[in-house]
Every structure is written in structure tokens, then in C-alpha cells.
């Protein structure tokens, strides 16, 4: 009791110290005034802007909420269907991974072609919510104690009874954990959608208009406010999730991909057939979308037309050249950011194993920071790193670091106590424990982290390019959007989604090679 | 002491046979080739008797029990409970089952957990309220009706599972090492209670166990199994009169029979 109070007092004290230093540097040094405006100035500016905050904030909150509800509804329905029919999940694997790995910023401009009003950003928010909510729900539905399944079977109950009495209730903690992760993503999706939709209100529009103004206090205010909204969404589901988890035994959001369960079943021929279906289905849906909505094929070309755009006709070689140039700028930066972010996360997680006090201090910060929408760091990145390549790299590192650190740290804590005790018994210190026990045990978490953040790194770089640096794939898409070069928008989106999916699959492939030795 | 092998086991003509296992075997495919979990075996269990299955790990005793429950299908041969197939029999709610793990629904209280089989069987709960309370009382958990599993000790949870296995008024009860996770003291206590419960109902019972003394104390017949491949080595009758009291645990006859059983477990052909 008194220990907890003392711990809380220490946290409050630490926060106050940080705020005091920030206030001093932000008001007394010239670089501080330019990069880290004092909290008092940020608050004063926010108060002066209060009407803007109200209008923009309301628009974003409404968009994110509606998108969240739609996305979660679709996710729960899909999870139920996938649970009942694993074949269906295999067939939709391509769609699911594409939705997970797509750099959301490229999808916004496409949605604008089909929908108007607030719908493009609402749908983008729903699309971003879908995958985490779906995989968490599916995991919860599948995670049935085998003894309970036996029990139901022993009384003649079938899948319906099992679903009704065991699966639904058992999935609740997992479902809420999924909601918790998805809520901040809905805010991110809404803001990214607002960049591309040209809407008047919303934090995306607010940020776009504030970026060229050179008012650090306002930029910081926007970043902090967007983070607050996202974190409020996270916190909303924190309490019910904890309560449910307590009454449902320990259920945690697993780091394994749900698709991996089903892949191993069935013969070779069946597997190949499903892989082909999974590959074809996203393109089929694309084709259906452009055909059924009756949007002009000039604005919304189908898959075949988009691929032909890159290989046939007068502009094909020019288009390939432009894309190649953009990729040459974007991919190295994304790869560098990914590796640096992962390495940094690994080193820090390992260090916190050697010095547990560090982990206690850092973990809460990382838990919060991983849920900050990445657009919220744009102001900080641009004030500190300007508009060059450094800004892009740092953006990717920032996007990669926090989720990777949290996952790795969780991996290190799953190491069985007995294994660490064994090392200690033979006189091994923390370093030996790290090398021989902790790292090998958490190798799965390392790969899970890499798979999770690889698409994020690309998204981070593309957002930086779109908003700040004016280079690479992100910029190409932004310019094409402005110039109404629809073929290029589609081709760029296709290429970036393919690269993202390829990166995700490549990590999975390496993982299977390494882990299943 | 009478030894009876499976072929010479005389069934009194008047006693009805509840369970017939006829040349049922099970082979599991593994990455390193098929493993015979259970060579084709035959066994008859008469109505109202208590039969214990005992043997080393991998002798297929749990597989046998799961086949009787219809949770596994035998590769060949047949299993009939009261001349019905297990799947059909269990749908009528005639089967009660308890596992080594109590497998309680963590979000349901004791009462709702005991009532769970009735829900699966599609039977109403309200008219059975009294019976459920009586069962909770029977296993010594009166007053804990509203407690959640997380608030109970391991032994109490296991008793909930026993009460649950009886709620559908089963004619055949299957117990798969129900006390395997309990300590020796608690186990003795639960053995006494199980005997009391069984004596009150005379349900045909099949108990899978690791405990030699548990098998001798509870059963009318002990089926000794050997591994690699899983098979029945011997069937030993337990002659002690019922009701059996805790004094039995310290009687020389009890120990002699335990020694016989131990010898049978390590007998010729037993895997090391």
C-alpha cells in the first residue's frame, strides 16, 4: 500500500521535474524556443486557438468514432466467419494482410475517388481498425481450453453450443484488448484520410495548414491534442478489458499471426490452391469495386489497366522511371529506419534486463507512446530535424521503436523463472542470462516485432515525404493527386502495398526458417 | 487373491453389461511414423460396478476412456455403452465425465458450472435447482454456490467438477485422473468422498488413475495396462467389502493387494 503510494509520488515528482526543465529550456534558450516551446506557451497558444481546436477536434473525433464502429463490426463478423470456416480465412489471407500492411496514406486518395463528404476518412479509419480488431477477436474465439471443448462434446454438444456457451464469453477479454489497440488507429486513420481528402475540418487539415506557419507552440499543441484523443480511445477500453481478463483467467494479446494456425493443415495441392485464391482475391475485390461503382475507368482503373499502365503505351517508361526514382529514395530510408528502430529497441530492451530499474521507468512511457498516432510526431520531427532525409529516417525510427520495444520487453518477461535461476545457480550473471536464455527465448517476439513494424516503417517514411521532405514515393503520390494523374496514384498505391506485403511475408519466411530448426 | 485374465473373467448371467469394448484399437500418426497408442483390446464392464484403469504413461488408458466418451474414434473394433454408440449415448445425457483438470468456466460461479451440462443437453435448469444444490452439498461445498472458480482451492474446484459430472443423472461415469493434480492428503479425502458419492448412486464408473492405492480402495476391478503398445495386461478383482473405511488403507490385506498390483504393473512384458 505505502509502496504503491511512494511509487506514485515518485512518478509525479519525475513528471514535475521534466516539465520544469522543459519550461526552462523552452523559454530561456534560443533553440528551445524554436524546437521545444515551453508548456506554458503551448497551453497559451492552445487557449487562443480554442475555437479551432473545437471545430477540428469534433470533426476528427466524429470521423474516428464512426469509422471505429464500422471497422469493429466488420472485424467481429469476419472473425466469426473465419472461426467457423478456417478455409474462408485462408482464402481471405491476402485481403487481411493487404489491409494490415497497406501504407494507409496511399489509400486515402483512392477512397476520395469513390466517396464524398466525410466518408473517405471514415472508411480509412474503419480499414485501419479492421485488422487488429479482427485478429484479436479471432484469437479469442479460437483460444478454447481443449478440456472445455471435450466437456461440451461429452454431453453431445456441437459447435453451436461451444460457440454459445464457451467461445463468445471466452473471447471477450481478447475482443476488448483488440478494441483498445484499434481505437488509437481509428484516430490515425481519420487524420491520414483528412490529408488526402482535402476536407476543411479535422486535425489533418489543421496540421496541413499549421505546418507552413512556423508557429512551434501551435504545432506542438496539435500533436499533443491528437495524441490525447487517441490515448483517450485507448484508455476507454482499458478498464473493461482488465476487469474481463480478471474473470476469464489470463488472456493476453498474442504475438503470433492467426493465419499461421490454419496454413499447416491440408495437402500440398490444397495449400497451393488456397494460396492462389488468397493472392487473387484482393485483385478481384479491386476489380469488383471499380466495376460496380461505375466510376469512370480513367479515374478508377481496374487491376489490369493499372499493370498495363506500367508496361504498355507511350507513358509506360516515363512512369516506370518516375516510380523507380521514388522507390530508390523511399526504400533505403525505410529499411534504414526499420533496422535502426529495431536495433535501438533490442538494445534498450536488453539493457533494461541488465538494469531492471530502467525497464520500470521506460515501459509505461513506451506503452503510451506506441499508441500515439504517428502524425502527432510530425510537428516535433519537423521542428527538430527540418525537412531533409534525417526527418524521414527519424520518423521511421520513431514509428518502429515503441511497438518493437514493448513487444521485446514482453518477450523478455516470458522467460521462465527456472531457466534464469539455472543460469544463476551456475554462477552466471545477468549478461550470461541475457545471451543464453533471454534472447533465445524471445526470438519469436523479435520476429513478431519485425513483422508488425515493417509496414509501419514504410508508412512513417511516406508520411514524412508527403508532408515534409517532398521526395520519394509519398511525394510522388501527393503530386499525382494534385495533378489528377490517376493512373500514377493507382500504380503508386499498388506498388507500395505490394512492397509492404512482401516485407511482411519476407519476415515471416525468415522466421519460419530460423524458429523451426 | 484371485487373478482373472480378460478371457476367463466370468460375468454372472443375471448382471447386465453396461460397457462392451470389442477389439478397439487406436494408432496416431506422428512425424516419425504411426504410434500404436492402443492395440486392439476387449473389455466388459457390468452394471453398477467400479472399474479402475491403471498403467504407466503412454499405456493408452486415457485414450481408452476418451474412446468410451466418443471423443476419439477407434480405428477398428467397436465400443457399445448399453448397446448404443458413444455419440448417441452421450446425447441422451447418460454420460458423466470429469478430467484431471477441473475445466470449469472461469466466468461462472459454482452453481452455474454444475448446471452447465444441463444447458448443453438442452434441459431446463429451474426444475433442477434443488438437485444442483443437493449435489453441491454432496461434494461438501454448501455455501460456495456463488463463488467463482478463481476463489476456490484446487481441491474445491475438483469437487465442483465431480458434482458437475453427476448433474445429468448419468448411468455411466467416466473419471480421467480426477485427483491427479491433488496432493496425497487431499487425494485420500477425495477418495473417501468419491466412494460415498458412488455408494449413494451405484453408477457404473470407469476411473483412470496413476495411484495404486486409489485404484484398490475404490474399485471392484482393476484393469492393469502396459505400454508400447498400449494393452491390457491383467484384470485384478478387489474383494474388500463395502462400504470401505479409512482403516482399510492400513490393513495388511490392502497392502498385499497393492503389492500384487505393483508386481502386475512391472510384470513380464511391461516396458521399462
User: Where are chain A's structural domains?
Assistant: 301-517
B117/A contact by beta carbon, under 8 A:
yes
- pLDDT averaged over chain B? 86
Query: How close is the nearest chain A Cα to the Cα of B149, in Å?
Result: 9
| pLDDT higher at B167 or A482 | B167
Q: Does ipTM come in above 0.85? A: no
Task: Please give the C-alpha separations between residue A135 and each of A93, A176, A443, A470, in angstroms, as whole numbers.
Answer: 11, 12, 22, 35
Residue A257 cell numbers, joined = 499471426
Q: Which residues contact A513 (CB under 8 A, 6 or more apart)?
A: none
What domains does chain B contain, in order, with CATH numbers? 3-7+16-94+170-265 (3.40.50.300), 106-169 (no CATH)
- Among A151, A176, A250, A265, the strongest candidate for a mutation testing the B interface, having the largest count of B CBs within 10 A, is A151
How high is the pLDDT of residue A430?
Answer: 80
- Contact check, Cβ <8 Å, B150/A249: yes
pLDDT of B4 strictly over 50: no
Task: Please give the C-alpha separations between residue A121 and each of A66, B47, B84, in angstroms, as whole numbers.
Answer: 10, 70, 61
- Contact check, Cβ <8 Å, B150/A247: yes
Asked if A448 contacts A256 with a C-beta cutoff of 8 angstroms, the reply is: yes
| Chain A residues within an 8 Å CB radius of B70 | 153-154
Please report, rounded to a whole number, the percentage of residues in chain A having pLDDT higher than 70: 95
How high is the pLDDT of residue A250?
Answer: 33
Confidence of residue B269 (pLDDT cuts 50, 70, 90): low
For the segment A351-360, what is each residue's pLDDT rounded down to a tens digit? 877 787 777 7
- Among B90, B120, B160, B181, the strongest candidate for a mutation testing the A interface, having the largest count of A CBs within 10 A, is B120
Q: Which of A177, A178, A222, A202 is nearest to A372 (CA)?
A: A222
pLDDT of A254 strictly over 50: no
Region A301-517: CATH code: 1.10.3720.10
- Contact check, Cβ <8 Å, A156/B116: no
Beta bridge partners of B36: B27
For the segment B72-96, what is each residue's pLDDT rounded down to a tens digit? 889 888 999 988 898 888 888 888 9
Its sign, for the CA torsion A26, A210, A200, A494, is negative
Residue A264 cell numbers, joined = 499447416
- Nearest residue of A to residue B118 by CA position? A155
| Chain A residues within an 8 Å CB radius of B206 | none
**DSSP-assigned states of every residue in A64-75:** HHHHHHHHHHHH
How high is the pLDDT of residue B115?
Answer: 93
Confidence of residue A19 (pLDDT cuts 50, 70, 90): confident
Q: In the predicted model, what is the mean pLDDT of residues B236-262?
A: 91
How high is the pLDDT of residue A65?
Answer: 95
- Measured CA to CA, the distance from residue A382 to residue A386 in angstroms comes to 5
For the segment B109-145, what is each residue's pLDDT rounded down to a tens digit? 999 999 999 988 888 999 999 999 998 988 889 999 9
How high is the pLDDT of residue A218?
Answer: 87
Q: Which of A66, A369, A56, A108 is nearest to A222 (CA)?
A: A56
Please report, rounded to a whole number, the percentage of residues in chain B having pLDDT higher than 70: 93
| Chain A residues within an 8 Å CB radius of B91 | 156
For the segment B15-30, what is each residue's pLDDT rounded down to a tens digit? 788 899 999 998 888 7
What's the number of CA atoms in the CB half-sphere (13 Å) around residue A273?
Answer: 8
- Measured CA to CA, the distance from residue B224 to residue B152 in angstroms comes to 34
* Pairing label, strands B76-81, B172-176: unpaired
Q: In the predicted model, what is the mean pLDDT of residues A215-222?
A: 86
A243/B contact by beta carbon, under 8 A:
no
Q: In the predicted model, what is the mean pLDDT of residues A84-100?
A: 89
Query: How close is the nearest chain B Cα to the Cα of A367, in Å?
Result: 28
Q: Which of B96, B94, B38 is nearest to B223 (CA)?
A: B38
Q: In the predicted model, what is the mean pLDDT of residues B147-165?
A: 89
What torsion do the CA atoms of A97, A103, A109, A113 make, to the nearest 10 degrees? 0
B90/A contact by beta carbon, under 8 A:
yes
Confidence of residue A21 (pLDDT cuts 50, 70, 90): confident
How high is the pLDDT of residue B237?
Answer: 93
Nearest to A248 among B90, B107, B174 (CB): B107
Please report, rounded to a whole number, the percentage of residues in chain A having pLDDT higher than 90: 16
Q: In the predicted model, what is the mean pLDDT of residues A269-285?
A: 87
Region for B85 from its dihedrals, namely left if φ exceeds 0, alpha if ψ lies in -120 to 50, beta otherwise: beta
How high is the pLDDT of residue A257?
Answer: 37
pLDDT of B253 strictly over 90: yes
- Measured CA to CA, the distance from residue B209 to residue B222 in angstroms comes to 10
Nearest to A161 among B71, B92, B120 (CB): B120
| pLDDT higher at A248 or B133 | B133
Beta bridge partners of A228: none
pLDDT of B270 strictly over 70: no
Beta bridge partners of B237: B221
Helix/strand/coil for B149: helix
Q: In the predicted model, what is the mean pLDDT of residues A254-283?
A: 66
Task: Please give the C-alpha separations between residue A292 and each of A112, A287, A288, A494, in angstroms, as whole numbers.
Answer: 16, 8, 6, 20
Neighbours of A16 (CB within 10 A): 10
Residues 161-190 of B with CB under 8 A from A: 168, 174
Asked if B174 contacts B97 with a C-beta cutoff of 8 angstroms, the reply is: yes
What's the number of CA atoms in the CB half-sphere (13 Å) around residue A324?
Answer: 7
pLDDT of A69 strictly over 70: yes
Size of interface A-B (CB pairs under 8 A): 63
Region for B219 from its dihedrals, namely left if φ exceeds 0, alpha if ψ lies in -120 to 50, beta otherwise: beta
How high is the pLDDT of residue A2?
Answer: 60
- Nearest residue of B to residue A161 by CA position? B120
Distance, C-alpha A103 to centroid of its chain: 10
- Contact check, Cβ <8 Å, A165/B90: no
How high is the pLDDT of residue A124?
Answer: 94
Q: Which of B73, B74, B72, B92 is nearest to B82 (CA)?
A: B92
How high is the pLDDT of residue A413?
Answer: 76
Confidence of residue A247 (pLDDT cuts 50, 70, 90): low
A150/B contact by beta carbon, under 8 A:
yes
Neighbours of A378 (CB within 10 A): 25
Helix/strand/coil for B52: strand
pLDDT of A455 strictly over 60: yes
- Contact check, Cβ <8 Å, B106/A248: yes
Confidence of residue A3 (pLDDT cuts 50, 70, 90): low
Q: In the predicted model, what is the mean pLDDT of residues B147-168?
A: 88
Burial B147-176 (b: 16+ CB within 10 A, else e): bbbeebeebbbbbbbbbbbbbbebbbbbbb
- Nearest residue of B to residue A148 by CA position? B103
Q: Which residues contact A362 (CB under 8 A, 6 or more apart)?
A: A348, A352, A405
User: Among A240-249, A294-303, B188-197, B217-226, which is the least confidently predicted range?
Assistant: A240-249
pLDDT of A517 strictly over 90: no
- Contact check, Cβ <8 Å, A155/B168: yes
Confidence of residue B6 (pLDDT cuts 50, 70, 90): very low
- Contact check, Cβ <8 Å, A147/B70: no
How high is the pLDDT of residue A317?
Answer: 86
A144/B contact by beta carbon, under 8 A:
no
Q: In the predicted model, what is the mean pLDDT of residues A433-448?
A: 81
Asked if A375 contacts A463 with a C-beta cutoff of 8 angstroms, the reply is: yes
Helix/strand/coil for A240: helix
- Measured CA to CA, the distance from residue A133 to residue A55 in angstroms comes to 29
For the segment A288-337, what is each residue's pLDDT rounded down to a tens digit? 888 888 888 888 888 888 888 888 877 888 888 889 999 999 999 999 99
For the segment B28-61, what is each residue's pLDDT rounded down to a tens digit? 887 788 888 899 999 999 999 999 999 988 888 8
How high is the pLDDT of residue A81?
Answer: 94
Q: In the predicted model, what is the mean pLDDT of residues B2-15?
A: 47
Q: Which residues contact B164 (CB under 8 A, 6 or more apart)?
A: B98, B104, B113, B114, B116, B117
Query: How close is the nearest chain B Cα to the Cα of A149, in Å?
Result: 9
Q: In the predicted model, what is the mean pLDDT of residues A231-236?
A: 86
Confidence of residue B204 (pLDDT cuts 50, 70, 90): very high
- pLDDT averaged over chain A? 84
Confidence of residue A248 (pLDDT cuts 50, 70, 90): low
Question: What does the DSSP 8-state code read for residue A155?
Answer: T
How high is the pLDDT of residue B106?
Answer: 84
Q: In the predicted model, what is the mean pLDDT of residues A434-463?
A: 85
Query: How close is the nearest chain B Cα to the Cα of A90, in Å?
Result: 24
How high is the pLDDT of residue A145?
Answer: 79
- Measured CA to CA, the distance from residue A442 to residue A309 in angstroms comes to 45
User: Among A118-122, A342-346, A438-442, which is the least confidently predicted range?
Assistant: A438-442
Confidence of residue A263 (pLDDT cuts 50, 70, 90): very low
Confidence of residue B257 (pLDDT cuts 50, 70, 90): very high
Query: How close is the nearest chain A Cα to the Cα of B233, in Å?
Result: 28
Amino acid at each position: 500500500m505505502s509502496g504503491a503510494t511512494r511509487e506514485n509520488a515518485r512518478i509525479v515528482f519525475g513528471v514535475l521535474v521534466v516539465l520544469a526543465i522543459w519550461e526552462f529550456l523552452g523559454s530561456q534558450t534560443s533553440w528551445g524556443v524554436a524546437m521545444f516551446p515551453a508548456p506554458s506557451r503551448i497551453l497559451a497558444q492552445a487557449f487562443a486557438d480554442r475555437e479551432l481546436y473545437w471545430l477540428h477536434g469534433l470533426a476528427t473525433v466524429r470521423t474516428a468514432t464512426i469509422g471505429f464502429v464500422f471497422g469493429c463490426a466488420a472485424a467481429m463478423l469476419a472473425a466469426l466467419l473465419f472461426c467457423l470456416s478456417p478455409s474462408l480465412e485462408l482464402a481471405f489471407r491476402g485481403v487481411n494482410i493487404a489491409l494490415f500492411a497497406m501504407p494507409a496514406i496511399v489509400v486515402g486518395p483512392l477512397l476520395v475517388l469513390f466517396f464524398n463528404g466525410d466518408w473517405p476518412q471514415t472508411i480509412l479509419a474503419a480499414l485501419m481498425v479492421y485488422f487488429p480488431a479482427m485478429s484479436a477477436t479471432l484469437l479469442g474465439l479460437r483460444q478454447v481450453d481443449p478440456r472445455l471443448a471435450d466437456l461440451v462434446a461429452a454431453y453431445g454438444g456441437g459447435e453451436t453450443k461451444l460457440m454459445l456457451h464457451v467461445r463468445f464469453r471466452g473471447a471477450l477479454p481478447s475482443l476488448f484488448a483488440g478494441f483498445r489497440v484499434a481505437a488509437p488507429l481509428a484516430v490515425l486513420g481519420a487524420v491520414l484520410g483528412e490529408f488526402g481528402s482535402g476536407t476543411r475540418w479535422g486535425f489533418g487539415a489543421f496540421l496541413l495548414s499549421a505546418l507552413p506557419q512556423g508557429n512551434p507552440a501551435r504545432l506542438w499543441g496539435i500533436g499533443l491534442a491528437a495524441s490525447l484523443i487517441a490515448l483517450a480511445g485507448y484508455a476507454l477500453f482499458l478498464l473493461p478489458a482488465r476487469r474481463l481478463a480478471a474473470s476469464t483467467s489470463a488472456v493476453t494479446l498474442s504475438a503470433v499471426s492467426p493465419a499461421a494456425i490454419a496454413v499447416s493443415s491440408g495437402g500440398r495441392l490444397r495449400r497451393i490452391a488456397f494460396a492462389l485464391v488468397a493472392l487473387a482475391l484482393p485483385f478481384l475485390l479491386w476489380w469488383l469495386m471499380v466495376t460496380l461503382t461505375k466510376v469512370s475507368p480513367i479515374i478508377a482503373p481496374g487491376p489490369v489497366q493499372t499493370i498495363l499502365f506500367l508496361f504498355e503505351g507511350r507513358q509506360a517508361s516515363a512512369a516506370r522511371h518516375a516510380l523507380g526514382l521514388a522507390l530508390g529514395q523511399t526504400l533505403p530510408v525505410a529499411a534504414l529506419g526499420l533496422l535502426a528502430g529495431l536495433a535501438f529497441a533490442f538494445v534498450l530492451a536488453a539493457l533494461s534486463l541488465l538494469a531492471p530499474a530502467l525497464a520500470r521507468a521506460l515501459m509505461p512511457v513506451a506503452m503510451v507512446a506506441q499508441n500515439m498516432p504517428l502524425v502527432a510526431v510530425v510537428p516535433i520531427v519537423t521542428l527538430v530535424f527540418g525537412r531533409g532525409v534525417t526527418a524521414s529516417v527519424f520518423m521511421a525510427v520513431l514509428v518502429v521503436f515503441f511497438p518493437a520495444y514493448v513487444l521485446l520487453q514482453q518477450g523478455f518477461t516470458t522467460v521462465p523463472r527456472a531457466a534464469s535461476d539455472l543460469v544463476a545457480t551456475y554462477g552466471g550473471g545477468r549478461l550470461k542470462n541475457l545471451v543464453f536464455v533471454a534472447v533465445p527465448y524471445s526470438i519469436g517476439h523479435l520476429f513478431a516485432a519485425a513483422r508488425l513494424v515493417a509496414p509501419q516503417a514504410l508508412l512513417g517514411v511516406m508520411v514524412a515525404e508527403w508532408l515534409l521532405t517532398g521526395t520519394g514515393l509519398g511525394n510522388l503520390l501527393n503530386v499525382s493527386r494534385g495533378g489528377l494523374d490517376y493512373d500514377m496514384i493507382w500504380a503508386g498505391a499498388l506498388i507500395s502495398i505490394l512492397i509492404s506485403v512482401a516485407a511482411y511475408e519476407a519476415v515471416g519466411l525468415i522466421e519460419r526458417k530460423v524458429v523451426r530448426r | 487373491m484371485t487373478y482373472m485374465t480378460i478371457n476367463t473373467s466370468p460375468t454372472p448371467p443375471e448382471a447386465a453389461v453396461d460397457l462392451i469394448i470389442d477389439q478397439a484399437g487406436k494408432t496416431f500418426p506422428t512425424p516419425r511414423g504411426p504410434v500404436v497408442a492402443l492395440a486392439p483390446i476387449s473389455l466388459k464392464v457390468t452394471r453398477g460396478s467400479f472399474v479402475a484403469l491403471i498403467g504407466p504413461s503412454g499405456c493408452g488408458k486415457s485414450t481408452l476412456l476418451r474412446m468410451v466418451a466418443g471423443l476419439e474414434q477407434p480405428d477398428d473394433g467397436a465400443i457399445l455403452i448399453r448397446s448404443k454408440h458413444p455419440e448417441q449415448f452421450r446425447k441422451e445425457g447418460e454420460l458423466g465425465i470429469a478430467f484431471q483438470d477441473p475445466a470449469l468456466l472461469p466466468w461462472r460461479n459454482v452453481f452455474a458450472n454444475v448446471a452447465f451440462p444441463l444447458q448443453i443437453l438442452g434441459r431446463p435448469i429451474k426444475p433442477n435447482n434443488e438437485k444442483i444444490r443437493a449435489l453441491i452439498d454432496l461434494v461438501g461445498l454448501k455455501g460456495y454456490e456463488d463463488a467463482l472458480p478463481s476463489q476456490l482451492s484446487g481441491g474445491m474446484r475438483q469437487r465442483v467438477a465431480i458434482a458437475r459430472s453427476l448433474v445429468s443423472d448419468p448411468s455411466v461415469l467416466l473419471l480421467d485422473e480426477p485427483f491427479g493434480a491433488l496432493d496425497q492428503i487431499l487425494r485420500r479425502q477425495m477418495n473417501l468422498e468419491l466412494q460415498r458419492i458412488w455408494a449413494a448412486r451405484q453408477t457404473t464408473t470407469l476411473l483412470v488413475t496413476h495411484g495404486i492405492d486409489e485404484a484398490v480402495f475404490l474399485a471392484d476391478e482393476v484393469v492393469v495396462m502396459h505400454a508400447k503398445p498400449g494393452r491390457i495386461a491383467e484384470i485384478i478383482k478387489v474383494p474388500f467389502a463395502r462400504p470401505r473405511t479409512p482403516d482399510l488403507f492400513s490393513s495388511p490385506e490392502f497392502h498385499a493387494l497393492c503389492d500384487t498390483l505393483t508386481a502386475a504393473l512391472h510384470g513380464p512384458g511391461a516396458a521399462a
